[in-house]
Structure formats: C-alpha cells, structure tokens
Amino acid sequence: MSASRKNAITPSRSKDYAEWYQQVIKAADLAELSPVRGCMVIKPWGYALWENIRRVLDAMFKETGHRNAYFPLFIPLGFLQKEAEHVEGFAKECAVVTHHRLELDSEGRLVPAGPLEEPLVVRPTSETIIGAMFAKWIQSYRDLPLLLNQWANVVRWEMRTRMFLRTTEFMWQEGHTAHASAAEAMEEARRMLALYAGFARDYMAMPAIQGEKTESERFPGAVNTFTIEAMMQDRKALQAGTSHFLGENFARASEITFLDQEGKRRYAWTTSWGVSTRLIGAMIMTHSDDDGLVLPPRLAPAHVVILPVIHKDEVRSQVMEYCRQLAARLREVRFHDVPLEVELDTREMRGGEKMWSWVKKGIPLRVEIGPRDVAAESVFLGRRDRPARERESLPLAAFIEQVGAILDEIQKNLYERADAFRRRNTREIDSYDELREFFTPENRQKPEIHGGFALCHWAGGAAEEERLKNELGVSIRCIPLDDEEGEQGTCILTGKPSPRRVVIAKAY
C-alpha cells in the first residue's frame, strides 16, 4: 500500500467499527479511561466540546424561560422509593454511600467506618430530590409553571461501559418543570424535544428523528417518553436526548400540590428532559472518518489551526510574524456571534506529523504558512470535510473575508452527508421476512455493517417487542412524531391494522 493512501485511524470503520471508535477518541485526545471502573477522564479537547454544547444549550434553555439551579449529589435512599416504577428502573444501577468516615485498621489499611443511619444514593437522576423541593416551593397556581434546569453529573452503575456512550459517571443537564395542567406539561415536554432536535440539526449537524418511546422503553415513572434518535455510521440507532411527560406520577410521589383558581387542591403536572455527554459520542459516530475525528464547526473547540512551515532558520521570524498577524486578524472574525478560535501550533515537530495530529483532532480548517505564502500574501488551506491531502492556495484577504462562509459550508456539508447516509439506510419494510433479511449480516461470526432504520407498521405490544429483540436483536426506537396523519397499514408481526409506521433498528 502506498503511503499516500494510508489512513490515520486503524482499524477502519468497515473493518472494526467499535475499535475504530475507541481509536478516534484516542487519536483526537478527547478522553481516556481512568483508574476508576467505567469512568473516563475527559481531556481538554473533549471537555471544550462539552463546554460548547453546554454554552449553546444553556442559552436555548434560558430563551425558553428556564433557570438554572443545583440540587445535591446525594439522595436519601427513602426518596427513591417513593415512585414505584422509578425504584424498579434505577435500583439495580445505584451507587450507595453507606459510611461517612475512614479509619485505619490494625494492618494500616483504610476501612469505612461510621455507618450512616440511612444510606445515601448517588443520584442516577434527580426527579425525587427535586420533587421534594418542588413540593415546598409550589403552593399556588401562581407558582406555576416552575421551569428549572440543572447541569450536573450523575452515576449509573451500568454493566458495560463505552467512552461517552455509556460511562458509570456522566455529565448531563436535566430539566425539571411543573405545570398547572396536563396540556401545558405535555407542550413543555414536546417543546424541549424539538429544541434538542434543532440543536442536533443546527449545531451538531446531525439529523435526528423525533418520536415517542413504546411502553417498554419508557423512562421509569413517566407517562410518555419522547426521544430523538440518530443513525450512527454503523447504522445503529443512538438515543441522543429524551424528554418525559411525567403526568402526576412524581407529583403524587413527592406531594407536589397547589391550589388552583377555584381553590381546589391539585397535583402538579411535571416533566423532565435531558441530554448528556453521550452527545459527544453521537457527534463522533456521525461525522468522523478513517482519518479521525470530524467536528462540526459550530461546536468545534477551535475553528482554524495555523501551521507554520519553517525549514530554514532564516525564514523563521518572517513566517512567524505573518502567522501571528493572520491569527490576530482571524480572531477578530465572528462566527455566529462567537469569535473564531484560532490555534497557532508552534510545536517543534515534523510538519507532516503536526498536520496529521490536527486532522485527527477534527479541526475544521488547517492553514499552512511557509515562505511561499508569505511572499504571495496567501494561505494554503485544508478543510476537514475534504481529503486531508487536498489543499488549495487562497489569497490571504479572500480567506479572511470568506472564512465564516467556508465554515458554514463545512457545517452544511456535514449535515447533508449525514442526512444522505441516513436516508440511504432507511427502508420501508412490510414483511417480517424482509425485516429479518434486513437485520441479518452475511457474516454471522464477524458481522459486517448492515441494516439501518426499518420503517414498519406496528400494532404489537411488549411481547411482540420482546420477540423482535430475541429474534433479530432489534427494538422499536420510536414512533415518529412528524407524520401524525400517517398511512394506514398492517402490522408486520400481528397482521393487525396499524395507523402509522415505527422506526425499528439495532441500538446502542
């Protein structure tokens, strides 16, 4: 194989997708596994992504009337018990604090001491503790709606973890709201779902289907669970965000009541909704290629890297000065109201290695500056949405003028590429045989990338869903919201009439 055809990431996506994913994270220096089981360390390049996600979403939440607050990490064990389904859903994955002190034993080892009267659970989610506070704060219909959000870390003791997609501890935001009517709460749940879908589309350049979960996939304790489902490049579905209409369930559990205009005591209607650091995993698996991470410009920690090309000491100061000026001028450019983030990479290392390190980090634009560019007042530009070796010379002034437009074009290209991929791998399927064929790899020992989203008529229940899972390893990802009118059809499993199609896929 010639050097010019070498890719930066081994193995390739098609060779071993799961391993490719790990290698992309490593090569981009986003995160690494920590000494703590199932927990990762998010490194600066990865954390900056989260900070950008957070900055944008936080502004969107505030625009829709929400305020931030912070609730405790610890939840009294008894709180979790208040909502029956909630307990059942989370009990198996709770980290429990049972002691509040360490002592040295006779052999000099630290051992827990000072048992707690009531153990504390490290929050897997905060409905119960927030509900307890809502109960105090809400007395009158005038206190409603109460629209809060919390940025926090939570812990779920999962069996198997994967960086960003499922870690024992993860960061997220959880919105919690209380309303005077069911309709208003439902509207809130749907509004926040749409907000997530818009964020995925406009910032992550990731198409996502808005839909509702079936009963068996519902959040424990919710009346309705809504989801945005995105297709990864291995054609599996990833739940990228959720929004729940909780009905009166948590209000009853936590005694969140208010007096309405007629002076009648009523339970509040609550919602909760969240996205997590999983979004970073979603972004990686939506856009990255066999040369590593590809970042959508609107969330990239840096937009442009300037790579000085210096191979003679005589040109050093001249090239560096040109680079510094270029950096300064670029930093004055605003990209969607945010100043351009510009890196000037002055590390003493070989140019090729340096360039590839930025390709692997997914930075949208690379600008190489050598004596030739200085002389010609130009820049040598590489874009991450094009092959790494494909670069073009551009007059300096034109580049500065167009840089925002170029970034927008990259953003658009990434979205369109992802959307085309999703369409290409989405199929309407009307027989169980075809569904089986769709989800059966040719090589059973080492399955190749196959399947995708199957749109099928469905009128089954939990038992039929169980059958799908057992026989084909797939599940109903959601009942899409966007084609409410739908077309009448026949359920693929039961043969019963069905008012609309559902999305069936393998899932993370």
Residues lying near RNA in the complex (CB under 7 A): 3, 6-8, 33, 37-38, 89, 92-93, 156, 158-161, 165-168, 170, 172, 219, 239-242, 274, 276-278, 291, 307, 309, 311, 350-353, 355-356, 368-373, 380, 388, 391, 508
Nearer to RNA, 33 or 333 (CB): 33
Nearer to RNA, 21 or 458 (CB): 21
Q: What share of the chain is helix, strand, coil (3-state, %, to 5)?
A: 35, 30, 35
End-to-end CA distance of the chain: 34
Q: Does the bond joining 115 to the residue before it have cis omega, within 30 degrees of 0?
A: no
Nearer to RNA, 274 or 301 (CB): 274
Tokens encoding 154: 């939570």
| Smallest distance from RNA to CB 14, Å | 17
| Smallest distance from RNA to CB 435, Å | 19
The DSSP result for 43-55, as a single string, is PHHHHHHHHHHHH
| Smallest distance from RNA to CB 92, Å | 5
Nearer to RNA, 210 or 239 (CB): 239
Q: Where are the alpha helices (DSSP H) in 425-482?
A: 432-438, 462-472
Nearer to RNA, 180 or 307 (CB): 307
| Smallest distance from RNA to CB 462, Å | 11
- Distance, in Å, from the CA atom of 168 to the CA atom of 304, rounded to the nearest integer, reads 34
Nearer to RNA, 144 or 222 (CB): 222
| Smallest distance from RNA to CB 475, Å | 9
Nearer to RNA, 38 or 145 (CB): 38
Residue type, 225: T
Contact 292, 26 (CB under 8 A): no
Q: Where are the alpha helices (DSSP H) in 66-159?
A: 77-80, 84-90, 127-137
CA distances for 53 relative to 152, 285, 420, angstroms: 14, 16, 24
Nearer to RNA, 252 or 391 (CB): 391
Contact 384, 294 (CB under 8 A): yes
Nearer to RNA, 371 or 499 (CB): 371
Write out the H or E segment, with its range, that includes residue 79: helix 77-80
Nearer to RNA, 351 or 404 (CB): 351
Nearer to RNA, 100 or 311 (CB): 311
Distance of CA 192 to the CA centre of its chain: 15
| Smallest distance from RNA to CB 93, Å | 6
| Smallest distance from RNA to CB 294, Å | 14
Nearer to RNA, 147 or 478 (CB): 478
For 404, list phi and psi in degrees, rounded to 5.
Answer: -65, -40
| Smallest distance from RNA to CB 287, Å | 18
Burial of 421 (0-12, 13-18, 19+ CB in 10 A): middle
| Smallest distance from RNA to CB 317, Å | 15
Q: How many other C-beta atoms are found inside a 10 Å radius of the C-beta of residue 70?
A: 10
Q: What is the DSSP-derived secondary structure letter of residue 8?
A: S
Q: What is the DSSP-derived secondary structure letter of residue 166?
A: B
**CA nearest neighbour of 502 among 482, 486, 473, 479:** 479
3-state SS assignment for residue 272: strand
| Smallest distance from RNA to CB 37, Å | 4
| Smallest distance from RNA to CB 188, Å | 19
Nearer to RNA, 110 or 159 (CB): 159
- Distance, in Å, from the CA atom of 249 to the CA atom of 259, rounded to the nearest integer, reads 18
Contact 209, 503 (CB under 8 A): yes
Residues 6+ apart with CB under 8 A from 477: 209, 211, 227, 229, 237, 239, 453, 502, 503, 504, 505, 507
Tokens encoding 314: 């005589």
- Distance, in Å, from the CA atom of 257 to the CA atom of 266, rounded to the nearest integer, reads 5
Contact 158, 276 (CB under 8 A): no
| Smallest distance from RNA to CB 140, Å | 33
| Smallest distance from RNA to CB 424, Å | 24
- Distance, in Å, from the CA atom of 406 to the CA atom of 429, rounded to the nearest integer, reads 39
Q: What is the DSSP-derived secondary structure letter of residue 64?
A: T
